Amino acid sequence: MKEKLQQIQTSVEELLKQISDISALENIRVQYLGKKGELTSVLRGMGSLSAEERPQIGALANKVREFLEKSIEEKKISLEKAARANNLKAETIDVTMPGKISPNGKLHPLTQVMNEVKDIFIGMGFSIAQGPDVEYDYYNFEALNIPKHHPARDTQDTFYVNDNIVLRTQTSPVQVRVMEKQKPPIRIISPGRVFRSDAVDATHSPVFHQIEGLVVDKGVTMSDLKGTLETFLKALYGKDARVRLRPHHFPFTEPSAEVDVSCFVCGGEGCRVCKNEGWIEILGAGMVHPKVLANCGIDPEIYSGFAFGLGLERITMGRYDIDDLRLFYENDLRFLQQF
């Protein structure tokens, strides 16, 4: 039995030298130390030993078991260490390899300029108001002093949903909605989509964007309008930009004006972009018509206001020297990536 125990120890020693993976190690453990293992069956045979032999053999058997357990555990640790080292080696990152470039998304040029316009007005204390794209005839026309059969309707080719409902042709109806709900002082801009049944070409699209502005309070004058627009246009086009108001007519403002900015390409000398005029028309504006104030329940004897409306596509085209409106809506990445 003594020999048998020693033999177990030497063969395990031998086996451990040969193996190089963890599962083989586990097999060895089961083969010798398991319930049906070789050491265990030797120990079972101890019952047949004499009373003198038993403690001797027992002590030896314990020593052998300790040896087996210890050397198997040591082997396990060294195998694991080797496996880890191997893994690290296999996973080494080559920091000199070229990276994968993932393309950045960007905001659409119209969104960029829209955000810029919003920021400028928010900086001047305006807040943002929204209205529906599908609008009542009343808000889009009637309340804005454009009765049925008024010739001004002809200048805005309207998509009619039915006799009373249209796709809004301008953002001006939001003025009315705001004035109905909110008493002065009012200082809002309203950006949004507008619709006109125009054929698509380089300067026309059935869907485009406007930004409406409205200020109503006691004692608001035309010079407040001019100062506000000058501040805005200088923020948008640089402090050297000059602003000019030309008399015009809109049914919802009196007096009305068209507003030009000195050409931001040539500075006013005359060039291709301003068609040699030195000025570029940017927006429509005026003092809110007393009838419009009254339509919204605001007493024109006490309050006055100004309003303006600008086209987002037009200022974005000017800003980036884009000569065809359709480029905004085609989503051609070669175009969009330039902004």
Residues in contact with ligand DAH by the rule CB under 6 A: 170, 172, 212, 250, 253, 284-286, 307-309
To the nearest whole angstrom, how small is the minimum distance from the Cβ of residue 309 to ligand DAH? 2
On whether the CB atoms of residues 243 and 229 are closer than 8 A, the answer is: yes
Q: Identify which of residues 195 and 250 has a Cβ nearer to ligand DAH in the complex.
A: 250
- 3-state SS string over the chain? CHHHHHHHHHHHHHHHHHCCCHHHHHHHHHHHHCCCCHHHHHHHHHHHCCCCHHHHHHHHHHHHHHHHHHHHHHHHHHHHHHHHHHHHHHCCCCCCCCCCCCCCCCCCHHHHHHHHHHHHHHHCCCEECCCCCEEEHHHHCHHHCCCCCCHHHHHCCCCECCCCEEECCCCCHHHHHHHHHCCCCEEEEEEEEEECCCCCECCECCEEEEEEEEEEECCCCHHHHHHHHHHHHHHHHCCCCCEEEEEEEECCEEEEEEEEEECCCCCCCCCCCCCCCCEEEEEEEEEECHHHHHHCCCCCCCCEEEEEEEEHHHHHHHHHCCCCCCHHHHCCHHHHCCC
Cα-to-chain-centroid distance, residue 16: 61
Least gap, CB of 237 to ligand DAH (angstroms)? 19
Residue at shortest CB range from ligand DAH? 309
Distance CA 65, CA 248 (A): 107
Q: Which is nearer to ligand DAH, 176 or 236 (CB)?
A: 176
CB nearer to ligand DAH: pick between 172 and 262: 172
Measured from the CB atom, is 4 or 291 closer to ligand DAH?
A: 291
264 or 308: whose CB is closer to ligand DAH? 308
Under 8 Å between Cβ of 4 and 41: no
Of the pair 60, 207, the CB lying nearest ligand DAH is at 207
Kindly state the smallest distance separating residue 233's Cβ from ligand DAH, in Å.
Answer: 15
Q: How far is the CB of 337 from ligand DAH (least distance, A)?
A: 31
Residue 287 beta carbon to ligand DAH: minimum distance, rounded to whole angstroms: 8
Nearer to ligand DAH, 212 or 260 (CB): 212
Residue 301, amino acid: E
C-beta closer to ligand DAH: residue 279 or 308: 308
- Distance set, CA 136 to CA 41, 160, 164, 173, 196 (Å): 97, 10, 6, 9, 15
Least distance CB 308 / ligand DAH (angstroms): 5
Q: How far is the CB of 300 from ligand DAH (least distance, A)?
A: 15
CB nearer to ligand DAH: pick between 131 and 286? 286
Q: Shortest approach of ligand DAH to residue 251 CB, angstroms?
A: 9
Minimum Å distance from CB 200 to ligand DAH?
18
Which amino acid does the sequence have at 211?
I
